[in-house]
Amino acid sequence: MKVLGIETSCDETGIALYCTERGLLGQALHSQTAMHERYGGVVPELASRDHIRRVLPLTGQVLSQAGVDVSAIDAIAYTEGPGLAGALLVGAGIGASMAFALGIPAIGIHHLEGHLLSPLLSADPPAFPFVALLVSGGHTQLMAVTGIGRYALLGETLDDAAGEAFDKSAQLLGLGYPGGPAISRLAASGSAGRYRLPRPMLHSDDLDFSFSGLKTAVLTAVRRGLPDEQARADLAAEVEAAIVDVLVAKSLRAVRETGHERLVVAGGVSANRRLREQLAAASAQARLRVCFPELALCSDNGAMIAFAGALRLQAGATPTAGVGASIDGYRVRPRWALDALPAV
């Protein structure tokens, strides 16, 4: 089965073609980062308009790269939520229309399920059950995963997400958007420890997170004055260390508490080198397996949506648009809890 994946939940237009027999046949991505950078964050209306311009040309590009005719697509998977309503409507609208026109099913996918399952696209995929650490710009969650759609929330952030903490700290340091990669680059020439930032809830007796205090502490340090470039790099290194320390400690605690032996990390922040290194070291010591998505699949992309759609359709899930759908038209869900998804 060949599934075309369409991701338009935020500021990346991601298109990919996944084949259940042959794997990923092609993918293309357009990032709107440069367009939003001058505003310091994503402007929803600009995002929607840009997705409209990109989806069909990128789809053509993916199909010709894969050498597959549009008539050979068996199903469409699009991101149904969560995300920006207008941006989601573009992918859902085009995905559902293509499905109607081609006489094939379309399925709406939960963006975070896409992230969560993306490490399964690797050559040596982890088996269920596992603990998943989902770290993106909008979410920080620990889930116990026992199958597709079987996600139990173990803990989550009470305020800012980890990616948001990177982004806001980067803004205070005068770095560009997105902040995660920018902080990470600057941190490479600095050392943590010169400035001391809080590790919120590190020792709390639960699996929740809180990152909003971090930006206040960064703001205080910035206001006191950073004398030179080295000071900025040292503060960036401390920001990264503070976020990573908490993510590592809570993930290991979740693994201990559930008794699962595998940890899967996904979402934009899973690209962070320090997080990967520290989790690999801690996991080796605790004798558990840790899996990350390929670097290219950490941030938003169409491949994870196509893959999740293929898994769900193969398992007999009901299409949400096109052939076999139970409703006319299509819907999007800007807010949508991951543990509310039906199991397949």
Residues at the interface with ligand KG4 (CB under 6 A): 10, 136-138, 163, 166-167, 178-181, 184, 267-269, 271-272, 299-300
Q: Work out how close the CB of 289 gets to Zn ion at its nearest, in angstroms, rounded to a whole number.
A: 23
Q: Please, which residue, 234 or 300, has the CB nearer to Zn ion?
A: 300
Site map 253..272 versus Zn ion, x via CB under 5 A: --------------------
Q: Please, which residue, 19 or 132, has the CB nearer to ligand KG4?
A: 132
With vertex at residue 42, the alpha carbon angle to CA 139 and CA 91, rounded to the nearest 5 degrees, is 80
Q: Work out how close the CB of 76 gets to ligand KG4 at its nearest, in angstroms, rounded to a whole number.
A: 21
Return d(Cα 246, Cα 169) in angstroms, integer. 16
14 binds, among ligand KG4, Zn ion, none (CB under 5 to 8 A by kind): none
Q: Work out how close the CB of 79 gets to ligand KG4 at its nearest, in angstroms, rounded to a whole number.
A: 10
- Cβ atoms < 10 Å from Cβ of 104: 20
Contact pick of 160, 288, 300, 309 for Zn ion (by CB under 5 A): 300
Rg (CA), the chain: 20
- Decide if residue 238 touches Zn ion (CB under 5 A): no
Q: Please, which residue, 136 or 278, has the CB nearer to Zn ion?
A: 136
CA separation, residue 59 to residues 21, 66, 308 (Å): 20, 11, 18
| Alpha carbon 292 to its chain's center | 12
Stretch that binds Zn ion, among 135-143, 144-152, 274-282, 312-320 (CB under 5 A): 135-143
Pick from 160, 177, 183: nearest CA to 272: 183
Is 115:79 a contact under the CB 8 Å cutoff?
no
Where do runs of H (alpha helix) occur along 173-211? 179-187
Q: Please, which residue, 167 or 234, has the CB nearer to ligand KG4?
A: 167
Is 179:166 a contact under the CB 8 Å cutoff?
yes
Contacts with Zn ion by CB under 5 A lie at 136, 300
